[in-house]
Structure 1
Amino acid sequence: MEQQHRTSRPRRDASPGAVPPPRERAAGGPRRRLARYRPAGRRPAPPVVLALRRLPRPRLTGLGAGLLATALLAAVAGLDHLFLDSTGTAMTVLYPAVAAACALWVRPADLVLAPVAAPIAYGVGAVVLTGGDPVDTLSALAVHAGWLYGGTLLAGVIALVRRVVLVRRHRNRRLRQAGTGTVGRAPRRD
């Protein structure tokens, strides 16, 4: 006869005088939540920061971020070509937001790719917008060069700031370990 593995934990019915398991004892009982530790002298975070912390934090590879930006800008350019007579304003105004999202959502190992992938996505969108005509494509890129440079600069600054924060966090972690005498490497949490 073949044994079946359990798919869930066995249920323990606690009697009123029973001692709860160690995990529940540490948390103060099964239904109480632990209070968050806040060092003395630190103010609570503003509501805007708390709202931003609740947002999803997707981590895309450099290729994934570039494909996402390309798909978004090509779709907007196609809709612009169909409905707005190829003015390019919708794609151009949306480009800085797409470049910023590309820089914010790329994983830490691929931060250098965010400012590279965003203008490539804009170029693909310009090709879709003009219907593939090379002269019109170059004209669209020249006319909207300010937006293109601005969005690329925004992606570069965001990627640079994220990299500086990661390097400082890593350095502080290593200094804390050296001060406490911890041997070995800390587990990676990025």
Structure 2
Amino acid sequence: MVAIGLLDRLLLAGSPTVYGALFLPVCALTALWVREADIVTAPISVPIAFAAGIVPIAGGEGGLGSQVMAVVTALAVHAGWLYGGTLVAGVISCVRKVRAMARRRRPADRRRPGPPIGRR
């Protein structure tokens, strides 16, 4: 997201709409590419990536205080993109987790012998 933010600043003068629109597929890809053992981290890492990537396009002129206020303002104004991306990553992660749990349960069900068919 930092690279996307830098490219957005260089090519499009820091358009927050383009940055937000590119954030959504990055969230989906993050949730799809993360290892099965780390599925829970996808919805946690995408807001951090959004905040890190918005620094180049936030605007702040001058000192550190101005830059921090610009980032906080950009996060507040563009929270819809942030919530949407987190929702996308969360839904994909939940579906992947449920499918992984079902895969783990299935072989255990096959090993247990059931009652003989036709007998009571």
- TM-score after normalising by structure 1: 0.54
RMSD: 1.6
Q: Which runs of 4+ in 1 moved over 4 A?
A: none
* Equivalent residue number for residue 159 of structure 1: 93
1:14-53 → structure 2 map (5 Å cutoff) = none
Q: Unaligned stretches of 5+ in structure 2?
A: 61-66, 115-120
Larger RCO (CA within 8 A; separation ≥ 6)? 2
* Equivalent residue number for residue 143 of structure 1: 77
What is the deviation of 1:158? 0.6
Equivalent residues of 1:77, 1:90 under 8 A apart: no
Whichever structure has more helix as a proportion of its residues is 2
Distance in 2 (alpha carbons) for counterparts of 1:179 and 1:122: 51
1:76-155 → structure 2 map (5 Å cutoff) = 76-130=4-58, 133-155=67-89
What is the deviation of 1:104? 0.6
1:2-13 → structure 2 map (5 Å cutoff) = none
What is the deviation of 1:87? 2.2
Q: Unaligned stretches of 5+ in structure 1?
A: 1-72, 181-190
Please give the per-residue CA displacement for 1:146-188, whole angstroms capped at 9, x wherever unaligned: 11101101101110111001111111111112239xxxxxxxx
Based on CA coordinates, which of the two structures has the bigger radius of gyration? Answer: 1
Please give the per-residue CA displacement for 1:86-144, whole angstroms capped at 9, x wherever unaligned: 22222110111101100011111000000011111110001122266111111111111
Number of matched residues? 108
